[in-house]
């Protein structure tokens, strides 16, 4: 029993010390992939092939059939209703919770502290590339270029590793980009625990129930 507990403890500590990682690799003449996971384990999406794989240290463990999942979703939809979009990350639920949180000042403060702390803990592991790109709408291209200039203002050294040239008259992408950002899992876990502790959980639950039943708070 003691060996089992020690093994479990070692595994938990190993997970606790990992990093939540997002890695984006774009190349107009090569692979275009997005990786999201913990450490070297996660989901890798290939934009060129339109497929997703569960990978560990670059080795494919399982291929996810996105077309099959979409067909199952449409088959289960009542009366052929397929208007409800596939939401694997639960974004709709997150939006509803955020709406209730914003109505409580104390919850909004806890939420602000949570996200600001996480942003400060983000580590840029890799950032290099040379991109010439644009959107269908010039204002989006301008927004992207403005964000790029803003980032350069904070991290001037980034200009030596990454260059972005906007294309104003058409949607296009040419060049390569390698970006990897990570968040230490222990920071994420600890800040999440602190935020939950600071949130007025019961008030949020009562507000949610009241909204669902159509009851208005005085």
Going by C-alpha positions, the residue among 88, 102, 104 that lies closest to residue 43 is 88
* pTM more than 0.85: no
Tell me what pLDDT residue 45 has.
92
Q: Are strands 123-134 and 162-166 parallel, antiparallel or unpaired?
A: parallel
95-109, 140-154, 176-190, 194-208: the lowest-pLDDT one: 95-109
Q: How far apart are the first and last CA of the chain?
A: 56
Provide the pLDDT for residue 218.
47
- Residue 5 clears pLDDT 90, i.e. is over it: no
Statement: residue 205 has pLDDT above 80: no
Mean pLDDT for 87-95 is 58
Worst-scoring range by mean pLDDT, 140-154, 164-178, 201-215?
A: 201-215
Rounded Cα distance, 53 and 44, in Å = 5
pLDDT(81) > 80: no
The 3-state DSSP class for residue 10 equals helix
């Amino acid at each position: 029993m003691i060996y089992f507990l020690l093994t479990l403890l070692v595994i938990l500590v190993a997970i606790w010390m990992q990093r939540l990682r997002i890695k984006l690799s774009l190349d107009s003449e090569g692979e275009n992939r997005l990786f999201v996971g913990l450490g070297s384990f996660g989901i890798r999406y290939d934009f060129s092939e339109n497929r997703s794989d569960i990978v560990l240290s670059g080795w494919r463990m399982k291929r996810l059939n996105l077309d099959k999942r979409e067909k199952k979703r449409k088959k289960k939809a009542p009366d052929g209703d397929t208007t409800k979009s596939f939401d694997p990350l639960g974004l709709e639920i997150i939006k509803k919770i955020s709406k209730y949180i914003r109505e409580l000042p104390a919850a909004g403060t806890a939420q602000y502290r949570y996200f600001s702390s996480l942003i400060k803990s983000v580590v840029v592991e890799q950032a290099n590339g040379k991109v010439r790109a644009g959107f269908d709408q010039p204002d989006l291209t301008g927004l992207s270029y403005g964000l790029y200039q803003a980032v350069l203002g904070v991290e001037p050294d980034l200009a030596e590793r990454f260059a972005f040239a906007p294309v104003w008259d058409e949607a296009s992408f040419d060049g390569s980009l390698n970006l990897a950002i990570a968040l230490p899992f222990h920071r994420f876990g600890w800040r999440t625990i602190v935020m939950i502790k600071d949130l007025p959980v019961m008030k949020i639950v009562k507000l949610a129930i009241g909204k669902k039943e159509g009851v208005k708070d005085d």
